[in-house]
Amino acid sequence: MCGVFHVDDSTLRDMENIVQSIDNSIRSMRLRRDIHPTDMAPVIYRENRKLKLSCQSWGCPKILDGGVIFNARTESVREKKLFSAGIQYHRAVIPAAHFYEWNASREKNTFRRQDGRTMFLAGFYDIIGNKEHFVILTTQANDSMRSVHDRMPLVLEERRPEDWICDDRCTNRLLEQVPVLMNRQSEYEQMSLF
């Protein structure tokens, strides 16, 4: 699962090397902060055959209870009617410096790429009420995450964001990939006496 991630100034600098267009709203946004569901966040997507970076709202509004859906499972995303247009036509990449996950004891863990570079979280967006809303895809946890949670964001390799966004033939293969191993840092970790 992914419920909070972090962006910073280096995230934007890394994105400037990938995209051809940056929305002016990004430059005025305070980027050194944690992003929670319903917050605006930088998202890379394709517009007019170019990769663009702009702000979108995290989470699709639920019609019945007023909440938001901010994650979708890679295993079932293609079968869900709510997500079918987004995953087929509006794939996106959400840049992040790191993300957080809490274990069963509610202890906060921070996950970063082992090389310290920006992460590219696979997702998609849809337009609801003239506003773009994105969702982050989650997959089964890999070895670096499994002790904390059974789900994690689908983290793409550095060379894959454009493939994910633009190449329909890569979609199924990338949905099934195992994310790279992460470094984990815990604010508090119980030590065993034995």
Task: From 133, 16, 151, select the one nearest 75 (Cα to Cα).
Answer: 151
- Res 135: pLDDT: 98
- Res 190: pLDDT: 53
Please tell me the distance from the alpha carbon of residue 161 to that of residue 148, in angstroms, as a whole number: 26
- Res 194: pLDDT: 46
The 10s digit of each residue's pLDDT in 16-26 is 888 888 887 78
Contact between residue 74 and residue 164 where contact means Cβ atoms under 8 Å apart: no
- Res 9: pLDDT: 83
The 10s digit of each residue's pLDDT in 18-61 is 888 888 778 777 677 999 999 999 999 999 989 999 999 999 99
Which pairing describes strands 91-96 and 119-128: parallel, antiparallel, or unpaired?
Answer: antiparallel
Task: From 60, 44, 27, 68, select the one nearest 131 (Cα to Cα).
Answer: 60
**At a CB cut-off of 8 Å and minimum separation 6, what does 92 contact?**
43, 44, 45, 56, 123, 124, 125, 134, 165
- Res 150: pLDDT: 95
Whole-prediction pTM: 0.92
Residues of the chain with pLDDT below 50 are 191-194
